[in-house]
Structure 1
């Protein structure tokens, strides 16, 4: 004899499409809550307190006072300006280089695997290691870059002795390091474009340049948008390369917002003000993401 059917638990045996989707996504939602939502909420909560571990005093609620302190903090504005400058220079630079590398890796020649393998090398290198390598490349006495300049008859440059040249070296390093990431995403987008479109364009007499503007670029826009979102967010969080190349020097002229957060939280143990700075970085990242998504939706 079978047990009578209990309608109260019928959704467990026949949940339907919506119920099945909820059951499958519930563990992921719980995981995201634990590793993303809770830390962000905790960050906002800590930013509302005067919480300095060096003072020996318990945390004291101060509301938005930490955010008010930023308005009169010249170091905050300097690091924010440097962060935005790195973002505005390196994101388009990495996109242009990444697109060129992706087009080269997508060319229909027989032995294209070395090109595709070369895309993985910069991406696989740790950020701090890349910073140390390029700090040696741009060394004023025995660096590779100055040696090349001497061979072509130019005067060597003391790269890390002036704010302009230091920022230039950092931006070039960041572009080299991140262009491979852009290239990998764009290469995946290129491989989804049907070859029949290019064959039809050849029959119609369209040249390679016109095919690029009329076929490749429009169909590659979703991949470009995804690459720009990830690259812009990581550019706003730039830390490792400037830290290992210049440590923010000379005179703090190349320090980024992430480095200032690290200084306040790790060096000064000021968790309240450091959390407020991190909230600003988080809001900037969210603003960039929303703007990109609105652009994608508008074009769609």
Structure 2
């Protein structure tokens, strides 16, 4: 082992550890810069220009005018608060449902693969496909949801036409789709909790409910935080499911910030303003990540 390490060092000209680490990480750094840093940098650069392709390919530098326009844009704030409401509803909803699914999947079944396969299926389905499926479920004429309501003697509802009902239909769909992802993360956390802790608690007379609150939840907190980080960031970037179900309607009642970015950039060909909106969305996601990471570091400290 020592001889092979010496030969490896000689092949790099007997570099120091720091120099060797630099050259080994350089290809990965270049690749990261190519696929991540350059697009983000280009996006920020474009956000300082007025560039609407419908008016020609020329771009005019306007500084922070696009950001000022966004902060004064009622449609931007409507899309922003729609996104915030989706985050507030779906992130805790996915966490609660995901925790229940993870606890069920962690039970000592003799044959566990059907249960865990059931967790994988919603997660594996494409987002746009899920949106189309639930659009049919909530269809006012032929949907399964209204069929069940009418069989129970209740009135037919126009789920995707009324703003409030459309919002809740989208939230239920997102929770169904994303709770399996949360469950998979929490299931991994549950499986590393030593069973001896539960056995000791049972000997001391603790009930299963007490074991859940005193053992499971505290030891599952790191996995919960990881799930919340990913779920919150993706919730702020919600696009596919609302677009497939309502396309932001009725009107702009369910339009999210990501959908507004698409409207300005793709439909209106307003690349400068669309880039500024995308940068604001990126900053929100970054701020959420920083808050979560500070909380995690505080717990570690």
Q: Name the residue aligned to 2:136.
A: 136
Partners of 2:23 and 2:93 in 1: how far apart? 43
Rate the CA distance shift 1:27–1:196 in 2: closer, same or farther, 3 A.
farther
Q: 1:109 offset after TM fit, Å?
A: 1.8
Q: Name the residue aligned to 1:189.
A: 189
Q: 1:198 offset after TM fit, Å?
A: 1.2
- SS of the equivalent of 1:157 reads coil
- SS of the equivalent of 1:161 reads coil
Q: 1:15 offset after TM fit, Å?
A: 4.5
Q: Name the residue aligned to 1:125.
A: 125
Q: 1:28 offset after TM fit, Å?
A: 2.0
Equivalent positions of 1:13-92 (< 5 A) are: 14-15=14-15, 18-92=18-92
Q: In the alignment, is residue 148 of structure 1 matched against residue 148 of structure 2? A: yes
**CA deviation vs aligned residue, 1:33-57 (integer Å, no higher than 9, x gap):** 1111111111110000001111015
Q: Which ranges in structure 1 are unaligned for 5 or more consecutive residues?
A: 1-8
Contact in 2 for aligned 1:185/1:227 (Cα 8 Å):
yes
Partners of 2:28 and 2:200 in 1: how far apart? 44
Q: Name the residue aligned to 1:262.
A: 262
Partners of 2:57 and 2:295 in 1: how far apart? 47
Aligned residues: 292
- SS of the equivalent of 2:12 reads helix
Rate the CA distance shift 1:24–1:206 in 2: closer, same or farther, 3 A.
farther
Rate the CA distance shift 1:229–1:269 in 2: closer, same or farther, 3 A.
same
Partners of 1:260 and 1:128 in 2: how far apart? 17
Partners of 2:53 and 2:233 in 1: how far apart? 30
Equivalent positions of 1:137-216 (< 5 A) are: 137-216=137-216
Partners of 1:255 and 1:138 in 2: how far apart? 18
Q: Name the residue aligned to 2:5.
A: none
Q: Name the residue aligned to 1:4.
A: none
Q: CA RMSD in A?
A: 1.5
Q: Name the residue aligned to 1:228.
A: 228
Rate the CA distance shift 1:203–1:11 in 2: closer, same or farther, 3 A.
farther
Q: 1:21 offset after TM fit, Å?
A: 3.9
Contact in 1 for aligned 2:12/2:20 (Cα 8 Å):
no
Contact in 1 for aligned 2:160/2:250 (Cα 8 Å):
yes
Partners of 1:266 and 1:111 in 2: how far apart? 49
Q: Name the residue aligned to 1:286.
A: 286
Contact in 1 for aligned 2:103/2:187 (Cα 8 Å):
yes
- SS of the equivalent of 1:221 reads helix
Partners of 2:121 and 2:100 in 1: how far apart? 16
Normalised by the length of structure 2, the TM-score is 0.93
Contact in 2 for aligned 1:94/1:175 (Cα 8 Å):
yes
Normalised by the length of structure 1, the TM-score is 0.94
Contact in 2 for aligned 1:11/1:19 (Cα 8 Å):
no
Partners of 2:230 and 2:193 in 1: how far apart? 22
Q: 1:24 offset after TM fit, Å?
A: 3.6
- SS of the equivalent of 2:205 reads coil
Rate the CA distance shift 1:26–1:205 in 2: closer, same or farther, 3 A.
farther
Rate the CA distance shift 1:194–1:22 in 2: closer, same or farther, 3 A.
farther
